[in-house]
Amino acid sequence: MTQIVVLDPITPGTAARLRALLPPGMTLDHATGRDAEHLRALVAGADVIVSGQIPVDAALLAAAPKARLLHKWGVGVDNFDLEAARARGITVARTTGSNAVPVAEFTLGLIIALMRNLSWGHHTLREGEWRTNQSPKPSLMLSGKTVGIIGFGAIGQNLARLLRPFGGPILYSKTTRLTEAEEQALGARHATLEDILEQSDVVSLHCPLTPRTAGMIDRAALRRMKRTAVLINVARGGVVVEADLVEALRAREILGAAMDVFETEPVPPDNPLLRMENVVVTPHIAAMAADNFEKTIGQMFGNIARFARGEGVPDSDRVG
């Protein structure tokens, strides 16, 4: 019997949905909290560890002597200590491409919510205020605007497809440039990071968190942007220097920002971004779509079943 442990605290309903999809010969347990002692006890007998947002460090892996597979519930593995996993002979896998459409759709929603003051209007009206002509910033259309996409993998490319009907230029930054035919199909043009920052009305981040991208959007980068531009981050919090972003927003160096990810998660309640009227914030939920659940879990459990049979994880989902 293969024991799977999910480190993220999940509801009984979600646990039941997961167990209903389990391959034969597997059991599943899950965390009920985030404290380190609880997590170490939970993984003591685990064969497979699954994590979405919970950090997996060397100490946690050391508490799981039987574990041979560490699987991301999602795509980005920056919350995993890959060297520690490698040293213990633990294979690391992820569900490549599984959340591309949900995150792209969510990004489009954030862009419109921010540019048209939807979140602000919702909040103020629920507080009993009718502030029709007192919005914190101009309400702007997305149609015809230039959108710069930094990181152009599956999510960025799906966002480009969603943006095409809005009729504005789409710029993208990617380490390996697409072919001319691929660019034409997506209606996107390759550009440098500097050009994207300077030319875009919307700058949307979709790159992984790496040593190269950590802190990439700092005060200097923000000052390159138009004063009428907005920043969207559904990538990783560490890509943006939050203190610099707060200062840029206060100084009106950019028009606004929408953030689904943060430098510290869960977000401390005193984070200034939570209280700014020209900011839309959500708690790292861009990938969560109920009608994408079975597809994602099927991909993850398929990888786990193949690994348990000794077949290994497909190269497309194997990390390192």
List the beta bridge partners of residue 6: 30, 50
Q: So where are the chain's domains?
A: 2-94+290-319, 99-281
Please say if 284 is a catalytic residue: yes
Asked if domains 2-94+290-319 and 99-281 share a fold, the reply is yes
List pLDDT tens digits, range 137-191. 999 999 999 999 999 999 999 999 999 999 999 999 999 999 999 999 999 999 9
User: Side chain identity at 291, as an amino acid letter?
Assistant: D
pLDDT for 320 equals 82
Is 265 annotated in the active site?
yes
**Whole-number pLDDT of residue 141:** 98
Q: So what's the pLDDT on residue 155?
A: 97
Measured CA to CA, the distance from residue 268 to residue 195 in angstroms comes to 34
Helix (H) / strand (E) element for 230: namely strand 230-233
Other Cβ atoms less than 10 A from the Cβ of 129: the count is 11
Q: Which of 30, 94, 206, 284 is catalytic?
A: 284
Q: Does domain 99-281 have CATH number 3.40.50.720?
A: yes
The confidence band for 80, taking pLDDT boundaries of 50, 70 and 90, is very high
User: What is the per-residue pLDDT across 46-77, written as a single tens digit (0 to 9) for each?
Assistant: 999 999 999 999 999 999 999 999 999 999 99
2-94+290-319 to CATH, choices 1.10.645.10, 3.40.50.10860, 3.40.50.720, 2.60.40.10: 3.40.50.720
Measured in Å, how far apart are the chain's first and last C-alpha atoms?
Answer: 27
Range 114-124 average pLDDT: 96
Q: Is 188 exposed, middle or buried (0-12, 13-18, 19+ CB in 10 A)?
A: buried
Q: How high is the mean pLDDT of the chain? A: 97
Residue among 105, 198, 247, 265 flagged as catalytic: 265
Helix (H, G, I), strand (E, B) or coil at 30: strand
Mean pLDDT of 116-137: 94
Q: Tens digit of pLDDT for each residue in 7-43?
A: 999 999 999 999 999 999 999 999 999 999 999 999 9
- Catalytic site includes residue 131: no
Question: What is the rounded CA–CA span in Å between residue 250 and residue 276?
Answer: 9
Q: What is the mean pLDDT of residues 115-122?
A: 96
Give 98's pLDDT tier (boundaries 50, 70, 90): very high
CA distance linking residue 242 with residue 259, whole number of Å = 10
**Predicted model pTM:** 0.91
Candidates 224, 236, 242, 263; catalytic one: 236
> d(Cα 92, Cα 112) in Å, to the nearest integer?
36
pLDDT of residue 192: 98
